[in-house]
Amino acid sequence: MIIIMEPKATEAEIQKVVTSMEAKGFKIILNKGDVMTVIAAIGDKRMVDPASIASLEGVRDVKLVQEPYKLASREGQEEDTVIEFPNGVKIGGLEKPVLMVGPCSVEKDIDGLLQVAYAAKEMGVPFLRGGAFKPRTSPYEFQGLEEQALKYLATAREKTGLLIVTEVMDTYDVPLVEDYADVVQIGARNMQNFKLLKAVGKCDKPVLLKRGPAASIREFLLAAEHIMCNGNEKVILCERGIKGFDSTFTRNTLDLAAVPVIKKYSHLPIVVDPSHACGRRYLIEPMSKAALMTGANGLLIEVHHDPDNASSDGAQSLNIEQFKKVAKNLNRLIGRIDYDNRNGKNE
């Protein structure tokens, strides 16, 4: 931690900071410049809130030297985390990127869901996604079928062997969702619902954690840390677009640079959701390919058997025919990436 004092800070104020930091176990190095004093406090003490230091009189600014997460950090674990599922599917590191497809919400018509599941299986996709509990901006929109939807997803799994990804919105529902899901999803709006993070931190199932629309990369990795420090280290991160100043043509701003940045600072797998990020069907294929080239470990893509009549997010869903076409192109690209990875070649 670097503590920068005001040019006019008094000797007593400087001493107070030094004493306070030493009391917290830091080793102090004092740099008195012509203009101001800079205090370096060395030590791996992540529990000290920089704001508590910043509040001392005479302190101008406090700067972090080390990223404040530990379990999620590349420094804490050098090799990539690869999550392996009982059926042998793997996600993370240099494993072949995987697709996760399905409708935004699971709806009453189980046949529609099964059509999507069979198409996914046909295209070699290992994961089926679908919402049972739906966070909706307006209370007047469809809120999800809850347990009924979980049962439909289980049926789809039985019939196709696909793994199920589905969201949990509340601590109360964690045991129920964990029971049905292969991957428990935390939605973007709940990225800093810390009680929920703690609850899924106690699950046995991998967690797909979506980045909040205004979350910095550091806040995102700290949210993962909340899960990991409760015991569950199988976290899959998901970039799904951040809030930007221009929502005329896309719903959010897809921050693809976050993928290689996170790969540098963390060992966790990261997938990209172009459907929610862009909110427009025509952008899914180009942004999916772009995501794969940044090193993403997978893609979440919304597919609905009848998007025109979907209860949510129709505008960004592919229909089954469109999905097959896109999946074919993505599979070709994934094949090349996998070939290059295995042969040590770049791209």
Q: Which of residues 300-339 bind a second copy (CB under 8 A)?
A: 307-317, 325, 329, 332-333
Among 90, 121, 136, 151, binds a second copy (CB under 8 A): 136
Going by DSSP bridges, is the β-strand pair 163-167/127-129 parallel, antiparallel, or unpaired? parallel
C-beta atoms surrounding 327 within 10 Å = 25
Near a second copy by CB under 8 A, which window of 84-92, 112-120, 122-130, 287-295?
287-295
Number of residues binding to a second copy, judged by CB under 8 A: 118
Cα(45)–Cα(130) distance, rounded to whole angstroms?
41
**Interaction mask 220-259, a second copy, x per CB under 8 A:** --x--xx--xx-----------xxxxxxxxx--xxxxx-x
Integer Cα distance of 83 and 79 in angstroms: 12
Residues 42-101 within binding reach of a second copy (CB under 8 A): 42-44, 46-47, 49, 51-52, 54-57, 63, 65-66, 68-70, 75
Site for a second copy contains 109 (CB under 8 A): no
Site mask for a second copy (CB under 8 A), range 8-27, x = bound: ------------x------x
Among 145, 281, 297, 303, binds a second copy (CB under 8 A): 281
Query: Cα dist. 134→140, 143, 180 in Å?
Result: 12, 5, 16
> Judged by CB under 8 A, which stretch of 81-89, 106-114, 123-131, 274-282 contacts a second copy?
274-282
Binding flag, residue 33, a second copy (CB under 8 A)? yes
* Nearest by Cα to 303 from 291, 313, 294: 313
Closest to a second copy by CB, 124 vs 135, is: 135
Tokens 């950090």 appear where?
73
Interaction residues for a second copy, span 182-221 (CB under 8 A): 189-190, 192-196, 212-214, 216-219
Of residues 178 and 225, the one with the C-beta less far from a second copy: 225
Sign of CA dihedral 293, 191, 274, 320: positive
Query: How many other C-beta atoms can be found within 10 angstroms of the C-beta atom of residue 120?
Result: 27
CA-to-CA distance for 186 and 204, rounded, in angstroms?
A: 15
> Residue 272 in contact with residue 238, Cβ under 8 Å?
yes
The distance from CA 327 to its chain's CA centroid, rounded to whole angstroms, is 22
Is-contact 161 117, C-beta < 8 A? no
Using the rule CB under 8 A, which residue among 154, 295, 324, 338 binds a second copy?
295
172 near a second copy (CB under 8 A): yes
